[in-house]
Structure 1
Amino acid sequence: MSVLSIVLQVILGLGFLMFGLMKFGSKQMVEGFKGYGYPGAFRVFTGLIEVIAAGLVIAGLWIDGLAAWGGLLIVVTMIGAILTHIKIKDQLKQMLMPIILLILGLVVFLINYGSLFV
């Protein structure tokens, strides 16, 4: 495993764990999802997916293949986030964080892709 992958896995894992847990009840997240036009259940579902992705990329430090699955889950989640920002006609600057996280998740996925088939 490369140093780049380890660093990205730790950063993404901790970040997605934090933001995923915030989706379970943070007032800011509750209001944000209302503004996006999504029900509370979807906010909780998104938080659960983010916590699972965080667990996968962190566990991928020790178990081959899990980082790739976590990276893929991050990519799919961030595509959804970007599409949401497009749907509500946000400016590009509101989409920068999901775009950056998508790229980082894609890098983790691509670095660890080969371990899926071992």
Structure 2
Amino acid sequence: MEYFIIALQLIVGLSILNVWLVQNQKATRWRGGNATTLAEEFHSYGLPDWSLYVVGFIKVVLSLLLIAAIWYPELRFPAALGLAAMLTGSILMHFKISDPLYKSFPAALFLVLCLVIAFVPGG
């Protein structure tokens, strides 16, 4: 089970880093509203400009902590739970603007994975 949890940590951590650091200016089918970038997505949600930077900082730090938790297991629970809270917020934003359900799928999937990481014993 330990290697399974480590794999999930890498999948979640690297995926979120990819969204925020690599794909942030690229259109995807998962973006809220008709947004083509993360900044446009936050505007679609009616959020202020500064919130993009705060949320981005928090998600990047928590993702790095989740990866670091492979070597420092005491970080695993707080990093996974913190990301789960942020992903819950992402899902709620999609609901707020009445996005089609499929647009919430990545956030919902990673929310479940974070809960598994946080609560399933990993070794």
TM-score, normalization by structure 1: 0.86
Match of 1:28 in 2: 37
Equivalent position SS for 1:37: coil
> Unpaired runs of 5+ in structure 2?
26-35
Per residue, is there more helix in 1 or in 2?
Answer: 1
Letter in 1 for 2:7: V
Instruction: Please name the residue that 2:103 is paired with.
Output: 94
Q: 1:9 and 2:18 equivalent?
A: no
Q: Which residue identity does 1:16 align to in structure 2?
A: I
Specify the SS of the correspondent of 1:65: helix
Q: Name the TM-score, length of structure 2 as normaliser.
A: 0.82
Measure how far apart 1:20 and its partner are.
Answer: 2.8
Higher RCO (CA < 8 A, seq sep 6+): 2
1:1-118 matched pairs, under 5 angstroms: 2-21=2-21, 26=25, 28-111=37-120
RMSD: 2.1
**Cα distance in 2, alignment partners of residues 39 and 19 from structure 1:** 20
Per-residue CA distance 1:1-51 (angstroms, 9 max, x = gap): 71111100111111122223358x737111111111111110111111111
* Shift in Å, 1:91: 1.6
Identity across the alignment (%): 31
The answer (yes or no) to whether the contact 1:78–1:98 under 8 Å persists in 2 is yes
- Structure 1: unaligned runs, 5 residues or longer: none
| Structure 1 residue ranges, 4+ long, deviating more than 4 angstroms after superposition | none
